Amino acid sequence: MRRDVFQAIADPTRRAIIGLIALQAMTPNAIAEHFDTSRQAVSKHLQILVECQLVKQEQQGREIYYLLEVAKMKEIDKWLEQFRKIWEDRFNELDTVLSNLKTDKP
């Protein structure tokens, strides 16, 4: 199953999970308590997140803590980069228009 980061964050529950464990590592049961889904459902989401390396596991006795792989989040940021350039340019254009309006006024 070719899963990428973008598909992983498409699901709102998954985004919520990411938001949760970003603050501190948690076990599947602990995460599930924050939603009204079953533990298994959460586990599946976690599996997907692990698969595309947005999240990693850390076994501790019989409990498994899930924690955010911050580095992987940057992949999304990297994709946005190209558009950031564009939207900054558009703002610059707007600035130009505005300053032209000013200089034309008097």
* DSSP class of 102: H
Q: Which does 34 bind (CB under 5 to 8 A by kind): its own copies, DNA, none?
A: none
For residue 68, state whether it binds its own copies (rule: CB under 8 A): yes
Q: How far is the CB of 69 from DNA (least distance, A)?
A: 15
Segment interacting with DNA (CB under 7 A) among 34-42, 79-87, 88-96, 98-106: 34-42
Instruction: Please identify which residue in the block is written with the tokens 């600035």.
Output: 95
| Residue 89, burial from CB neighbour count under 10 angstroms (0-12, 13-18, 19+) | exposed
Q: How far is the CB of 47 from its own copies (least distance, A)?
A: 17
